[in-house]
Amino acid sequence: MRIAVVGTGYVGLVVGACLSENGNDVVCVDKDLGKIEMLRAGRMPIYEPGLEEMVRRNHQEERLAFTDDLPGAVRDSDIVFIAVGTPQGEDGSADLRHVMGVAREIARAMNGYKVIVNKSTVPVGTAEKVREIVRRETTHPFSVVSNPEFLKQGAAVDDFMKPDRVVIGAEDPRAAELMVKLHQPFTRTGAPIMVMDCPSAELSKYASNAILATKISFMNEIANVCDLFGADVDRVRQAVGSDKRIGTSFLFPGVGYGGSCFPKDVKALTRFSSDKKYEFKILKAVDAVNEYQKRVLVSKIEAHFGKSLKGKTIAIWGLAFKPKTDDMREAPAIPIIEALLAKGAKVQAYDPEAMKVAKGIFGSKITYSTKNYDALKNADALAVVTEWQEFREPDFARIKKLMRTPVIFDGRNIYQPEQMKALGFTYTSIGR
């Protein structure tokens, strides 16, 4: 099939690469010419495991192209994906400016029947709005499909190639059939392709992210209660997770969720529900708990050193909002570092992939280490903020030697309290 993907970000580039991997002809479109030129030159604008190799191979084999010429890409395609950002608007709603702008541009470029696919996460009713915009701009036939994306950054290629399910919202059987055919090669192991109405497809995405965010905030509150009563959240988590109705995933407490999806999607679902006069009470609490949780590690640091951190150097391990990505959108590391700086601390940070992004956020306000152990030199404490694999089993003797005082604040519970005590560290984690 001939496919255009508009928006070459964390989602669009993965979608484009994976569809081309199956033999489709794909052109990825972005208005950011810098990104397009990088990709044409074989360089990656983002870090995502396994993506670079797939992009390079399909580009070389001429199944995957990059352009900033949206009209040209639309004319040459049968299916056009919209995968642009839907950031949080000022009132918490999803900002649909990019989606609507792209829909209009697609409509103006049409030269025959096109299937226009909403891949971006968009509020219920957006497919209908896109339909109206396109109808206004063209006399050519078209269908609008809602095809929300469930991939996880850090495992995006795998998730797209082997999805748990594919959701297709389509009112038009011809478009639904085409979308099913496009996705069949990805679901040979039996994952369901679910065809439904557009509003249900749109809501499925928000409901999935919202329940995952709810699990995280819920366990963060359980961890906070563990701290108050001297219970061990690891034990509680294992006991709770072994109930098959609950499951073991997303029960790890920490410093709050971040990223470009959960925070904005929780707020957007709350917001568009309230547009219909429905108060989504649980999600308001999920969001409030998350805001609170982002301050928990700093409170623990304060409890140890006192309110002022003047003269203290804090090493930070992990800046990305989660491991295996360079993405720092809404990363808990940002408010944590800002709070430490406001209290007068000096911050030395290290992340395996997010250093470039971090420099754009903090500039010269913090120092950046090129190796994980370098960040520890003369530090009064280490704060673990992202649970990258390389932090899990470090050389503790080396850490102790490098630091001014052996103090660790573990925001991801990756070390064992008994072991840390035996090694002579002052160790604080979440809910243990």
Residues lying near ligand NAD in the complex (CB under 6 A) are found at 6-12, 29-32, 35, 83-86, 98, 101-102, 120-121, 149, 151, 153, 260-261
Q: What is the DSSP string of 85-116?
A: ---B-TTSSB--HHHHHHHHHHHHH--S-EEE
What are the start-end ranges of the H helices in 320-404?
333-342, 355-362, 396-402
- Residue number with CB closer to ligand NAD (215 or 300): 215
- Residue number with CB closer to ligand NAD (27 or 407): 27
**Nearest C-alpha neighbor of 387 from the set 351, 426, 427, 334:** 351
Name the minimum Å distance from CB 119 to ligand NAD: 6
- Residue number with CB closer to ligand NAD (260 or 293): 260
Name the minimum Å distance from CB 150 to ligand NAD: 6
Strand order of the β-sheet with 313-317 is 367-368, 346-350, 313-317, 381-384, 407-410, 426-428
The rounded distance, in Å, linking the Cα atoms of 34 and 27 is: 16
Name the minimum Å distance from CB 126 to ligand NAD: 10
Give Cβ neighbours of residue 178 (< 8 Å, ≥ 6 apart).
1, 78, 79, 115
Name the minimum Å distance from CB 159 to ligand NAD: 9
The rounded distance, in Å, linking the Cα atoms of 82 and 9 is: 11
Q: Which residue is nearest to ligand NAD (CB)?
A: 9
Which amino acid is it at 233? V
Name the minimum Å distance from CB 267 to ligand NAD: 12
- Residue number with CB closer to ligand NAD (100 or 376): 100
**Nearest C-alpha neighbor of 210 from the set 295, 278, 270, 277:** 270
- Residue number with CB closer to ligand NAD (36 or 115): 36
- Residue number with CB closer to ligand NAD (157 or 223): 157
Using the Cα atoms of residue 326, residue 417, residue 227 and residue 208 in order, give the sign of their dihedral: positive
The three-class DSSP label of residue 27 is strand
The rounded distance, in Å, linking the Cα atoms of 111 and 2 is: 14
Which amino acid is it at 116? I
Residue for token digits 């809501």? 203
- Residue number with CB closer to ligand NAD (75 or 304): 75
Please state, in angstroms and as integers, the Cα–Cα distance from residue 388 to each residue in 318, 322, 431, following that order. Answer: 7, 8, 20
Name the minimum Å distance from CB 137 to ligand NAD: 15
**Nearest C-alpha neighbor of 47 from the set 418, 356, 380, 309:** 356
Nearest 5°: the CA angle 32, 56, 54 is: 105
Name the minimum Å distance from CB 19 to ligand NAD: 15
Name the minimum Å distance from CB 57 to ligand NAD: 21
- Residue number with CB closer to ligand NAD (35 or 215): 35
**Nearest C-alpha neighbor of 54 from the set 93, 89, 82, 28:** 28
Which residues are marked as active site?
Answer: 261
Which amino acid is it at 394? P
The separation between CA 159 and the C-alpha centre of its own chain, rounded to angstroms, equals 13
Which amino acid is it at 187? T
